[in-house]
Amino acid sequence: MMKINKIREMSSPDLEKELGELKTELFKLKFSLATNGLDNPMKIKEVKKDIAKINTVLTERKIASKKGEN
């Protein structure tokens, strides 16, 4: 699980890349859960939380950049 401070330190392009990787991982986890089960089903919850954290930071940055333009 990623810490929010670590996420905030990353640049936006890095976050976009990480987001893509996490979405791929989530797909693979869900697929594997449906086909043969997972050792740790809680991993899906952790990946979803990481995706949400990254989306939150990206949204905060978009809002801050729009306020800077005004």
* Backbone phi, psi, residue 3, to 5°: -85, 145
Please report, for the chain, the start and end positions of each structural domain, with discontinuous segments joined by +: 11-69
In this predicted structure, what is the pLDDT of residue 70? 64
Q: What's 11-69's CATH class?
A: mainly alpha
pTM of the predicted protein model? 0.88
In this predicted structure, what is the pLDDT of residue 69? 76
Distances from the Cα of 6 to the Cα of 12, 15, 20, angstroms:
12, 11, 17
Element of type H or E holding 30 = helix 12-35
Low-confidence ranges of the chain (pLDDT < 70): 70
Look up residue 4 and give its two tokens.
């929010």
